[in-house]
Structure 1
Amino acid sequence: MEENSSCSSISSAVFPVHRQSSVKETFSTIKSFSVDILLKPTGNAPIMKKKKWTVDSDKPIGWIIEFMKKYLKLDSNEKLFLYVNQTFAPSPDQMVRNLFDCYSTEGKLVLHYCKTQAWG
């Protein structure tokens, strides 16, 4: 019986053996990176002149909300709501990296903002 040549090349392939890394090593190797965020107004929200921003992936969503409130010159008592892809409002302590990994489209994280609750 003749052995299939493609199978023999696969069986002779050497696969690297990975050692088990500790949690500390894993987190120390994670590097922050920049994330492109596209901010779109909804409802009664004021329009931002600049819609595309680059944000450090280690920033929480709460940081973006506070930045936008300052940029839009909103009063401290005014609310600003952010929504991911017009579906849900992430918690303020959610990291940009997690949202980008799960919900980015064409290399951008799309966030809709408004002054009253809209979705979710």
Structure 2
Amino acid sequence: MAQTPGSPEIPGQASNIPWSDVGDAPEALQALESYKKKYPSKVIVRFKAVGNAPIMKTNFYKITAANRFQAVIQFLRKELGWKAGDPLFTYINLAFSPAPDDTVSNLYKVRPFSAQGGLC
């Protein structure tokens, strides 16, 4: 259905505004830039011993963002030399314990992390 000049615009109907004019709006440009922003393929994870947990030789590791948090738990068990049955509690910024099936990239996007942008 063609719209005549001066007729009111019907909600839900495509307008006759060219796309080049819509892209000039600052809000639209800002939304496009945030959409184009890529998250890193690897994130820096910082392990910090709490309570009577053993201190690790290296605290910072790069981990693939596509991994599930279960991979981080398995890596941590291997580094500490713990068996599968030994209790291991993991927290992010001492605030919450992530689910093992959550991806590292989702946890990174939540951003309650340290200033370096990694998981704590």
Give the strand-richer structure, 1 or 2: 1
TM-score (norm 2): 0.64
Deviations 1:51-82 (A, max 9, x none): 00100001111110111101110122102111
In 1, distance between residues paired with 2:41 and 2:60? 16
Aligned partner of 2:65 in structure 1 is 57
SS in 1 for 2:44: strand
In 2, distance between residues paired with 1:31 and 1:51? 22
Which residue type is aligned with residue 109 of structure 1?
G
In 1, distance between residues paired with 2:109 and 2:40? 13
In 2, distance between residues paired with 1:105 and 1:31? 16
User: Is 2:36 the partner of 1:14?
Assistant: no
In 2, distance between residues paired with 1:107 and 1:98? 16
Higher relative contact order (CA 8 A, sep 6+): 1
Please tell me whether the aligned partners of residues 40 and 110 of structure 1 are also in contact (alpha carbons under 8 angstroms).
no
**Unaligned runs of at least 5 residues, structure 2:** 1-19, 24-37
Q: Which structure has the greater CA radius of gyration?
A: 2
Please state how far the C-alpha of 1:31 moved relative to its aligned partner.
7.7
Please state how far the C-alpha of 1:50 moved relative to its aligned partner.
0.5
Please state how far the C-alpha of 1:32 moved relative to its aligned partner.
6.5
The CA RMSD measured in Å over matched residues stands at 2.4
